Amino acid sequence: MNRNGRKIVIIGGGIAGLCAAVYALKCGYEVEVLEMHDMAGGLAMSWRRGPYTFETCLHWLVGSKPGGQFHAQWQEVCDIGKLTFVDPDMFVCIETESGDRLRIFTDVDRLEAELLDHAPRDAAAIRELTHSIRTLARFKMLDPSVGFSSNWLNVLRDLPVFPVLSKLSRISGSEYGSRFTDPLLKDFFSNGEMGKLSAIALVISLAWMSAGNAGYCIGGSQALIRLIEEEIAGLGGKIRFRARVERILVENDAAVGVELAGGETIKADWVVSAADGRSTIFELLQGKYADDAIRKTYEARELFASYLQVSLGVALDLGAQPSMLARILESPITVDPGTEVNSISFRFFHFDPTFAPPGRTAVTSTIPTRNFAYWTNLRENDLTGYRAEKNRLADTVIAVLEKVVPGIRPAIEVVDVSTPASVIRYTGNWKGTMEGWLIEPGAGFKHLPNTLPGLGKFLMVGQWVSPGGGLPSGPMTARPAIKAVCKHDHVLFNVHAGRKPELEAVGV
């Protein structure tokens, strides 16, 4: 690659930081990614315990289908064709302890048939739901990095979609669920955290799945991360691990580099933060470039919850289980002070052969909580109590699992529990949130500004700029940020540089 003589330092090696690195390298910048952890990925993470790999992030990757919405953006940052995707036929199977069961199929026709069979009294609401899924499956999100002039064809094509989008964006999952009389169907939209989200978030995800464009890649989120790391290495970029940034250096209201824990300084022409938004603005920059609007956002806007994850390595082939099961409980479980849940979900990773040897299965259960402080305080001040709480929760989850798979307990050979304290320690995300800003009813997907008032040569990327988060928020926010850098520096924004000739030839 021809270098243009300018350097960009990127804080954070999660998906957004890595995508920003690829775009910047392709445009000829020297790039150094600084990651405080000893591996890349941030929330896009899995870990190994004995023969098992436990995934925390990936359920679906929007853009998995060649030619589908968002696939081209993934091709800009990695050779996504190298990944093997599977499209589960069922999103989730919901069942009660008394044996009532509802299967949420990913194929919309199968879903419609299942729902009508299960809840004929809700036929009108079911048909409206499947109509929305079919309509949204055709929707292509506008590209935020180009203006209206480049998006007008998309706008024309999407005109019939807008009324559905706008209706679903205005109401919460709970409100949407209230149109069904069937308790399981109601529960699917209203339960826990889902009920707080704008209804559009869930319905559009079902639409992407039904279009076969939200697959799971074998190897989980780290398979995607490793692919982007390969791209960075191929383009001559550098990722430095165990490099925690403590301060963004500013001269004359322009970022000029960073200071690492330990005092080392790294100079740069631009600083891009792909790290937690609150700590970037209020710690690394000491709040000096936060105006009232930013303060209000960080004080008032709601976040996705944090979570505990109970991961189990089971010496059994659990291939007969659905890939995801939500078990509705007869009596709620106390997670921590202030948090009770009335359902427990399990992911049976039998569909990913890289996660366990034959005859064994990795199983995870993610439990949302907003009481991150309980777990961080306990870990800091009472390690014995912290471990006891983790054991209590693991035991409770296993007791629920035993009712699903009788006799499973003796076959559990690995138990691992992560808490909001683990999420904060490993990713630095504020309150241990799993995806940053919640998409609240009425708020839409509109991005937050990626600059700070009065500060030059600085940009933000990632889930703190893109409400709703998700892996696609990586390329979606990195692209416009690096494009803006190029525009400022009069450098050609070239997303195809360094690509294999056959990809360039078809203009991918």
Ligand X SMILES: Cc1cc2nc3c(=O)[nH]c(=O)nc-3n(C[C@H](O)[C@H](O)[C@H](O)COP(=O)(O)OP(=O)(O)OC[C@H]3O[C@@H](n4cnc5c(N)ncnc54)[C@H](O)[C@@H]3O)c2cc1C
Tracing tokens 């009232």 back to the chain, one arrives at: 292
Strand bridging mode 361-369 / 306-314: antiparallel
470 binds ligand X (CB under 6 A): yes
Q: Is 215 in the site for ligand X (CB under 6 A)?
A: no
Give dist(CA 236, CA 442) in Å, integer. 43
Beta carbons of 20 and 272 less than 8 angstroms apart: yes
Any idea what the Cα angle at residue 28 is, between residues 26 and 33, rounded to 5°?
75
Size of the site for ligand X (CB under 6 A): 40
Residue 119 or residue 248: which is nearer to ligand X going by CB?
Answer: 248
The answer for residues whose C-beta is within 8 angstroms of residue 190's C-beta and 6 or more apart is 173, 174, 176, 177, 178
- Please, which of residues 64-93 interact with ligand X by CB under 6 A? none
| Choices 141-149, 274-282, 388-396, 404-412; region in contact with ligand X by CB under 6 A | 274-282
Q: What is the 3-state secondary structure (H, E, C) of 433-445?
A: CCCCECCCCCCCC
AA identity, residue 474:
G
- 427 contributes a contact to ligand X by CB under 6 A: yes
Length of the chain equals 508
Q: How far does Cα 486 stand from its chain's mean position?
A: 27
User: Is position 275 an interface residue for ligand X (rule: CB under 6 A)?
Assistant: yes
> Is 16 an interacting residue with respect to ligand X (CB under 6 A)?
yes
Helix (H, G, I), strand (E, B) or coil at 193: helix
Interaction between residue 44 and ligand X (CB under 6 A): yes
Considering beta carbons, is residue 309 or 361 the nearer one to ligand X? 309
> Is 43 among the residues that bind ligand X (CB under 6 A)?
yes
* Binding flag, residue 37, ligand X (CB under 6 A): yes
Nearer to ligand X, 347 or 499 (CB): 347
| Segment interacting with ligand X, rule: CB under 6 A, options 12-20, 126-134, 167-175, 181-189 | 12-20
60 binds ligand X (CB under 6 A): yes
CB count within 10 Å of CB 504 equals 12
Q: Are 175 and 31 in contact (CB under 8 A)?
A: no
Indicate whether 419 belongs to the interface with ligand X (CB under 6 A).
no
Stretch of 41-49, 103-111, 149-157, 166-174 lying at the interface with ligand X (CB under 6 A): 41-49
CB-wise, 452 or 471, nearer to ligand X?
471
Among 434, 478, 485, 495, binds ligand X (CB under 6 A): 434
Among 10, 11, 22, 256, the residue binding ligand X under the rule CB under 6 A is: 11
CB 346 within 8 A of CB 291: no
Instruction: Give the integer Cα–Cα distance in Å for 209 and 212.
Output: 5
Q: In the chain, what is the greatest distance between 2 CA atoms, to the nearest angstrom?
A: 67
Choose which of 174, 366, 377, 396 interacts with ligand X (CB under 6 A): 366
**Cα–Cα distance measured from residue 298 to residue 282, given in angstroms and rounded to the nearest whole number:** 10
In three-state secondary structure terms, 87 is coil
Stretch of 34-42, 222-230, 262-270, 451-459 lying at the interface with ligand X (CB under 6 A): 34-42
Helix, strand, coil percent values for the chain (each to nearest 5): 40, 25, 35
The tokens describing 449, both together, are 């500004």
Interface with ligand X includes 63 (CB under 6 A)?
A: no
Q: Which residue, 122 or 273, has its beta carbon nearer to ligand X?
A: 273
Chain-centre distance for alpha carbon 299: 22
Let me know if 341 is exposed, middle or buried by CB neighbors in 10 A (0-12, 13-18, 19+).
Answer: middle
The answer to whether residue 278 forms part of the interface with ligand X (CB under 6 A) is: no
Q: Tokens for 380?
A: 């800091």
Q: At its nearest, how many Å lie between ligand X and the CB of residue 245?
A: 4
Beta carbon nearer to ligand X, 316 or 477: 477
CB of 430 to ligand X, least distance (A): 10
The binding track of 320-359 with respect to ligand X, each residue x by CB under 6 A or -, is ----------------------------------------
Q: Which of 7, 21, 53, 59 binds ligand X (CB under 6 A)?
A: 59
Window 440-469: residues binding ligand X (CB under 6 A): 462-463, 469
Distance CA 1, CA 499 (A): 11
- Write down the least CB distance from residue 17 to ligand X, Å: 6
Mark the segment that binds ligand X (CB under 6 A) among 14-22, 179-187, 313-321, 325-333. 14-22
Query: Is residue 294 near ligand X by the rule CB under 6 A?
Result: no
- Contact status: 247 vs ligand X (CB under 6 A): no
Amino acid at 351: F
Sequence-ordered list of residues with C-beta below 8 angstroms from that of 210, at least 6 positions apart, any chain:
106, 107, 108, 111, 133, 134, 137
The single residue among 435, 452, 457, 476 that binds ligand X, judged by CB under 6 A, is 435
Q: Rule CB under 6 A: say whether 471 interacts with ligand X.
A: yes
| Contact status: 474 vs ligand X (CB under 6 A) | yes
Burial class (CB in 10 A: 0-12, 13-18, 19+), 329: middle
Q: Return d(Cα 98, Cα 219) in angstroms, integer.
A: 35
> Exposure pattern of 42-80 as b/e (b: 16+ CB <10 Å)?
bbbbbbeeeebbbbbbbbbbbbbbeebbbbbbbbbbbbb
Min CB(88)–ligand X separation in Å: 12
Q: Is 447 helix (H, G, I), strand (E, B) or coil?
A: coil
Using the rule CB under 6 A, give the single segment among 10-18, 116-124, 180-188, 288-296 that binds ligand X.
10-18
Tell me which of 30, 32, 35, 76 binds ligand X, using CB under 6 A: 35
Q: Which residues bind ligand X (CB under 6 A)?
A: 11-17, 34-37, 42-44, 56-61, 244-245, 274-276, 307, 366, 427-429, 434-435, 462-463, 469-474
